[in-house]
C-alpha cells in the first residue's frame, strides 16, 4: 500500500514521546476519553461519525482546524476526479471534503473566540464513546479582558445519518452584546465547486450546495439555528461572497452570570441519495430542530446502544480495555447498516489514501464487524457486488477471464491507483485483492447461512474471482500451476513469481467457489479444483527448519508487513504446525518494525491458534497497539512515525486478536469452532452477542474456563478439541481455557514478571522471556537493566541471550531491499547478575568486546537465585546509525530477543 503522509513528522514526534491516554476509568476500561491540554504532545483532535457523515473536532470544539491532523468534514462516497490535476498523481478519483458544517463561534464585540485570539483557561475536551458526542469546554478571556465560560457539544446523529448537531452554551462574566456566528465554511472543501447557496432570516436557516469536480455529485449542507428563550435576535447574513461558504450572525444582549444556549442542526445530503439534495438537507435540518436537542440526542444514544450490546470486553487490563473500546467506536463510526460504501484506511476520519478502498477493508476491518455486526459487514460486500461489472471489464482489459478487482477502488470500481507506475506499481501486480474480496463474500455466507444472498450476490463475486484465478494461473510442463508477476502484501518485494500469500489466496478462492457451487446445486468448472490442487507452494529449509518461501528467489531480506504469516490466518492453510511455527520465528524478525500496525495482530492470532508454549500471543498484542496508539483519544496511527490517521486498518487487525485469537473462534458452515487460550497477563475476554446462522451467543474466556451462553435462536453447534457440543438457552457450555504460558519448561524465567529500566514502545520486557526468539525487549537508552524473577527460587548455572538484528531497508520504490549486510543489535559489554532478594546483586558472568555474535551462552557455577538481571552497559550505536533502514530514526540500542535460564 502506497505511503500516505497525512500525519507529518511533527505529529509523529509528538506521538513517539506521548504518555498513555487519560481516560475515565472503569474495571473493564473507559468509555469517556478526556484531554486537558491541547498543547500536550499526546493531543491529536478526535473524530466522530455515524457511518455516513464524519467530522473531526479541533481543539476549539467546533469548525475547521488545520495543522498536522486537519479537522475536516467527510461524506461517505463523495468522490470527485480533479478536472485540472496539479500533478499526475492527482488524476484519479478522490473523496472530496465537504464544507465544514460544525462552525459556531462566539465573540464579545471586540474579538472572536479562537485559539489564536485571547486566552483560554480550564480547557477540557472529551469524547463519549457510548454516544459519539464530543464535548469541549473552558473559559475564554477576550483581548479586552472579558471572560466567557463556554461549552460545545458536537455529534453526528446515529439515528439519522443525514443530521449533525452543534450545541454552544455561553455564560459571560460581563454584560453587553454578544455575537454568535453559524457558518458553513467552504475554506477546507476540496475538489468541489459551488452550485448555489441561500439564507432565510425568518427561519434562521442557510445552506450551501456544491458539486464534485469530474464526477458531478451534488451535496447540500443546510443549517438551522435554535436558541434558548433568553436570546431574541434576528440573524444577518455573512460570508456570502466567499466561495462555498454561507453564514448567519446573531447579536444579542447578555447579562453577566446568565447562560445562553444556541443549537445548530445540520442536514447533509447528496445526489446519490436524493434527486433534490438542497430540499432534503433543509428538511433534515428543520426536522431535527423541530424535534429539539433532547429528542435528537436521545435518538442518537438509542441508535448507538445496540452496537455496544455487541462488543468486546477486556477484563483486568484497563488500558488495553479502553483501547479496545475506542477502536470499536472509531470503526463503527465509519460504517452503518444500509450505507453500501466500504471503509477506506482512515474511514471517515480523513481522506487519507484519497478515501480509496483497498484490501484493508476485507482482510483487516471486515472480520472485526462480521462476528458481532453482520449487518455492518454486509455493506462492504454490497460495495464490491455493485462494482462487479467494472471488475469483469478490468479482467478482460488485462487479458483474463472472470472478475479482477482493482487495487484501489473509489466511486465506480475502476482502478484508481495514482500514477506513475514507476512509484506505485501495486495496481499492476498486487492482484491478491481479488481473492481478499472473494474470501469476505464466502465468510459472510459461513457466518449467516444466507442461501438467498449467496445465490444473488455472493456467488457472482466468488465465481468471477475464481474465473480470474483460473485464467491467471500458468501450467508448467510437470502439471503444476504457477502465478507469475505478482506482488503480495510484502510490497517491498514487487513483481515476483509464486508469491505464497497470493498462491494460497488464489487456491482458497477456487476451493471456496467450488464449495459455493455445491451448496447452490450448481456445477463449477472442473478446472477450478484441478488448478487449486496443483498450484505451486514452495517450501525451503533455513538453518535446518522448513518454512514457506515467500516467493521464488526470496533471499531472506526485509519484509514490509505480514505476508507469509497470513497464510495461517485468515487463509487457514492446512500446513504442518512445525512449518507454521517456523514461519513466525523466521519472518517476524524480518518484518519492518516501523509498521504498518497490522502485522503483529496476525502474529498474535497465529500464536494462539498454534498454542505456542509461552506468552508470545500477549506480547504480540502489546506490539500491535502500544507503538501506534499514542494520543489522548486512543487513535491508531498507520506506522510508528505517522501515515494514515485514524488508521482503521490497524484497528481492524487489533480487534481480530480478541475475536479470533484468544477465543479461537472460527465460523464454519455447519458449526462454530472454539479453541480458547489465554496467558496470565490477560485475565479475561468477553465476546458479547456473536452471531451465527440466526443464533446470538456470548463467549466468556477466563483464565481457567471458557463459557458459551446462547441468548437466542436454535441450539448452537460448537466444535472444540473434545468434539461437537450443542448449546441451548438452558444449558451453557464450559470449556477448559488453554494456558500455553504454563506449559512445562526447563527455562526458569519464561513468562515471569520481567521489568526494565526503560523500554521502546511495544518492545516490552515480557518479550525477552515469552518463549519466542522472534520478539524483543529494547531499552530506550544505555546503560539499562532488565530484571526477571526466577521460578521456584532454584539453582541455575546457564543463561542464553539471543540478540536482535537489523536488516537493510528499501532504497527506492520498486527496488527490493538487499538481504545483507545484517547488523546485530547487541550489547558489546554487559553483565549477568543474580539476587536472592532483588536488592543485593552478584555478578556471575560478564561479556565485553563482542559486537557481532547473535547468541551468547553464559555458564557459571550453580547458584540459587530468585532474580536474574542483565546489566547492559555499552552497545554498537555508531555502527547501527550508519545503516540504511526503513525506520526513522533507526533503532540503535540492543534488542534482547530472548533470555533463557537453566
How far, in Å, CA of 537 to CA of 546, rounded? 13
* Mean pLDDT score, 513-524: 98
Rounded alpha-carbon distances, angstroms, from residue 211 to 193, 343, 401 = 5, 22, 37
pLDDT at 3 over 80: no
Which three three-digit cell numbers place residue 173? Answer: 462574566
pLDDT score of 472: 98
Which three three-digit cell numbers place residue 245? Answer: 461558504
Confirm whether 491 is a catalytic residue: yes
Angle formed at CA 253 by CA 247 and CA 259, multiple of 5 degrees: 90
How far, in Å, CA of 430 to CA of 202, rounded? 57
Q: Which candidate, 230, 254, 626, 656, places its Cα nearest to that of 443?
A: 656
Q: Read off the pLDDT band of 2 (50, 70, 90).
A: low
Q: How many CB atoms lie within 10 A of CB 517?
A: 18
Integer distance in angstroms from the first to the last C-alpha of the chain? 45
Q: How many residues does the chain have?
A: 902
Rounded alpha-carbon distances, angstroms, from residue 401 to 157, 374, 406, 465, 469 = 44, 31, 14, 9, 8
pLDDT score of 888: 52
Give the distance between the most distant pair of CA atoms in the chain.
Answer: 92
The tens digit of pLDDT for each residue in 731-768 reads: 999 999 999 999 999 999 999 999 999 999 999 999 99
Q: Which candidate, 23, 634, 601, places its Cα nearest to that of 323?
A: 634
The tens digit of pLDDT for each residue in 225-274 reads: 999 999 999 999 999 999 999 999 999 999 999 999 999 999 999 999 99
784 preceded by a cis bond (ω within 30 of 0): no
Which residue did the predictor score with more confidence, 355 or 880?
355
* Mean pLDDT score, 432-450: 98
Mean pLDDT lowest for which of 70-74, 485-489, 809-813, 859-863? 809-813
* Mean pLDDT score, 618-646: 96
**Coil, helix or strand for 720?**
strand
DSSP states of 792-824: GG-EEEEEEEEEEEE-----STT-PPPS-PPEE
Q: How high is the mean pLDDT of the chain?
A: 94
How far, in Å, CA of 319 to CA of 324, rounded? 9
Confirm whether 392 is a catalytic residue: no
Q: Which of 638, 657, 760, 898 is catalytic?
A: 638
Q: Which candidate, 312, 227, 294, 210, places its Cα nearest to that of 262?
A: 227
How far, in Å, CA of 898 to CA of 446, rounded? 40
How far, in Å, CA of 865 to CA of 165, rounded? 63
Q: Read off the pLDDT band of 116 (50, 70, 90).
A: confident
The tens digit of pLDDT for each residue in 669-712 reads: 999 999 999 999 999 999 999 999 999 999 999 999 999 999 99
Residues 534/470, Cβ–Cβ less than 8 Å: no
Helices (H), 521-634: 526-534, 577-587, 599-610, 616-625
Q: Which residues contact 67 (CB under 8 A, 6 or more apart)?
A: none
Q: Which of 244, 491, 499, 898 is catalytic?
A: 491
Amino acid at each position: 500500500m502506497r505511503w500516505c503522509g497525512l500525519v507529518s513528522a511533527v505529529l509523529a514526534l509528538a506521538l513517539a514521546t506521548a504518555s498513555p491516554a487519560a481516560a475515565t476509568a472503569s474495571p473493564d476500561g473507559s468509555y469517556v476519553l478526556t484531554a486537558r491540554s491541547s498543547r500536550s504532545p499526546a493531543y491529536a483532535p478526535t473524530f466522530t461519525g455515524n457511518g455516513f457523515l464524519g467530522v473531526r473536532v479541533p481543539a476549539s470544539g467546533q469548525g475547521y482546524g488545520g495543522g498536522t491532523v486537519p479537522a475536516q468534514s467527510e461524506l461517505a462516497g463523495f468522490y470527485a476526479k480533479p478536472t485540472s490535476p496539479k500533478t499526475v498523481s492527482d488524476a484519479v478519483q478522490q473523496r472530496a471534503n465537504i464544507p465544514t458544517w460544525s462552525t459556531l463561534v462566539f465573540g464579545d464585540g471586540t474579538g472572536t473566540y479562537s485559539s489564536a485570539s485571547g486566552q483560554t483557561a480550564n480547557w477540557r475536551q472529551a469524547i463519549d464513546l457510548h454516544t459519539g458526542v464530543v464535548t469541549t469546554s473552558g473559559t475564554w478571556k477576550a483581548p479586552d479582558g472579558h471572560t466567557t465560560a463556554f461549552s460545545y457539544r458536537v455529534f453526528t446523529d446515529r439515528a439519522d445519518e443525514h443530521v449533525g448537531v452543534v450545541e454552544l452554551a455561553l455564560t459571560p462574566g460581563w454584560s453587553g452584546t454578544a455575537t454568535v456566528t453559524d457558518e458553513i465554511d467552504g475554506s477546507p472543501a476540496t475538489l468541489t465547486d459551488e452550485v448555489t447557496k441561500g439564507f432565510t432570516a425568518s427561519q434562521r436557516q442557510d445552506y450551501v450546495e456544491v458539486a464534485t469536480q469530474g464526477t458531478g455529485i451534488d451535496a447540500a449542507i443546510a443549517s438551522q439555528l435554535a436558541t434558548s428563550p433568553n436570546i431574541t435576535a434576528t440573524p444577518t447574513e455573512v460570508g456570502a461572497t466567499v466561495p462555498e461558504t454561507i453564514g448567519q450572525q446573531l447579536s444579542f444582549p447578555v447579562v453577566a452570570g446568565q447562560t445562553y444556549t444556541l443549537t445548530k442542526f445540520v442536514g447533509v445530503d447528496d445526489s446519490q441519495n436524493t434527486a433534490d439534495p438542497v430540499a432534503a438537507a433543509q428538511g433534515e435540518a428543520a426536522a431535527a430542530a423541530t424535534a429539539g436537542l433532547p429528542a435528537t440526542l436521545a435518538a442518537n444514544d438509542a441508535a448507538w446502544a445496540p452496537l455496544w450490546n455487541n462488543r468486546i470486553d477486556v477484563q483486568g487490563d484497563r488500558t488495553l480495555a479502553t483501547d479496545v473500546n475506542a477502536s470499536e467506536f472509531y470503526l463503527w463510526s465509519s460504517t452503518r447498516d444500509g450505507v453500501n460504501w466500504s471503509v477506506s484506511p482512515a474511514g471517515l476520519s480523513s481522506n487519507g489514501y484519497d478515501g480509496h478502498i483497498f484490501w484493508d477493508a476485507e482482510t483487516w476491518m471486515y472480520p472485526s464487524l462480521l462476528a458481532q455486526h453482520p449487518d455492518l459487514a454486509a455493506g462492504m460486500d454490497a460495495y464490491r457486488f455493485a462494482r462487479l461489472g467494472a471488475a469483469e471489464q478490468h479482467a478482460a482489459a488485462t487479458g483474463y477471464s472472470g472478475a479482477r478487482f482493482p487495487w484501489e477502488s473509489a466511486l465506480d470500481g475502476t482502478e484508481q491507483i495514482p500514477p506513475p507506475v514507476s512509484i506505485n506499481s501495486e495496481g499492476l501486480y498486487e492482484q491478491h485483492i481479488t481473492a481478499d474480496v472473494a474470501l469476505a463474500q464466502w465468510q459472510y455466507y459461513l457466518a449467516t447461512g444466507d442461501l438467498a444472498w449467496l445465490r444473488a450476490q455472493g456467488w457472482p463475486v466468488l465465481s468471477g474471482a475464481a474465473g480470474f484465478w483460473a485464467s491467471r494461473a500458468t501450467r508448467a510442463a510437470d502439471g503444476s500451476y504457477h502465478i507469475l508477476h505478482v506482488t503480495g502484501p510484502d510490497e517491498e518485494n514487487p513483481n515476483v513469481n509464486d508469491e505464497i500469500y497470493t498462491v494460497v489466496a488464489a487456491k482458497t478462492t477456487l476451493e471456496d467457489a467450488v464449495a459455493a457451487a455445491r451448496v447452490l446445486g450448481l456445477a463449477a468448472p472442473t478446472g477450478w479444483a484441478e488448478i487449486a490442487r496443483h498450484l505451486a507452494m514452495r517450501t525451503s529449509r533455513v538453518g535446518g527448519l522448513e518454512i514457506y518461501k515467500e516467493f521464488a528467489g526470496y533471499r531472506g531480506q526485509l519484509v514490509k508487513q505480514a505476508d507469509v504469516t497470513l497464510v495461517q490466518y485468515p487463509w487457514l492453510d492446512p500446513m504442518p504446525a512445525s512449518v507454521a511455527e517456523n514461519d513466525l520465528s523466521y519472518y517476524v524478525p524480518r518484518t519492518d518494525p516501523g509498521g504498518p500496525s497490522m502485522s503483529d495482530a496476525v502474529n498474535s492470532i497465529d500464536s494462539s491458534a498454534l498454542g505456542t508454549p509461552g506468552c508470545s500471543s500477549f506480547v504480540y498484542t502489546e506490539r500491535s497497539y502500544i507503538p501506534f496508539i499514542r494520543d489522548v483519544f486512543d487513535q491508531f496511527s498507520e506506522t510508528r512515525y505517522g501515515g494514515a490517521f485514524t488508521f482503521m486498518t490497524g484497528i481492524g487487525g487489533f480487534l481480530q486478536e480478541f475475536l479470533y485469537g484468544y477465543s479461537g473462534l472460527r465460523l464454519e458452515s455447519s458449526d462454530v469452532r472454539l479453541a480458547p487460550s489465554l496467558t496470565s497477563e490477560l485475565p479475561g475476554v468477553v465476546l458479547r452477542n456473536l452471531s451465527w446462522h440466526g443464533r446470538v451467543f456470548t463467549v466468556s474466556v477466563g483464565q481457567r474456563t471458557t463459557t458459551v451462553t446462547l441468548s437466542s435462536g436454535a441450539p448452537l453447534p460448537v466444535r472444540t478439541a473434545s468434539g461437537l457440543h450443542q448449546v441451548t438457552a438452558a444449558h451453557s457450555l464450559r470449556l477448559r481455557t488453554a494456558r500455553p504460558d504454563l506449559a512445562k519448561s526447563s527455562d526458569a524465567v519464561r513468562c515471569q514478571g520481567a521489568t526494565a529500566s526503560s523500554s521502546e514502545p511495544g518492545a516490552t520486557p515480557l518479550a525477552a522471556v515469552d518463549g519466542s526468539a522472534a520478539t524483543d525487549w529494547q531499552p530506550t537508552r544505555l546503560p539499562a537493566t532488565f530484571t526477571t524473577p526466577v521460578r521456584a527460587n532454584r539453582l541455575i548455572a546457564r543463561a542464553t541471550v539471543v540478540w536482535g538484528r537489523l536488516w537493510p531497508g528499501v532504497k527506492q520504490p520498486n527496488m527490493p531491499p538487499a538481504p545483507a549486510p545484517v547488523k546485530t543489535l547487541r550489547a558489546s559489554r554487559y553483565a549477568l547478575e543474580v539476587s536472592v532478594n532483588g536488592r543485593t546483586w552478584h555478578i556471575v558472568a560478564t561479556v565485553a568486546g563482542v559486537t557481532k555474535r547473535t547468541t551468547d551462552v553464559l555458564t557459571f557455577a550453580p547458584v540459587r537465585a530468585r532474580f536474574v538481571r542483565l546489566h547492559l552497559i555499552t552497545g554498537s550505536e555508531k555502527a547501527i546509525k550508519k545503516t540504511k533502514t526503513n525506520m526513522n530514526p533507526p533503532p540503535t540500542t540492543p534488542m534482547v530477543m530472548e533470555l533463557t535460564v537453566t
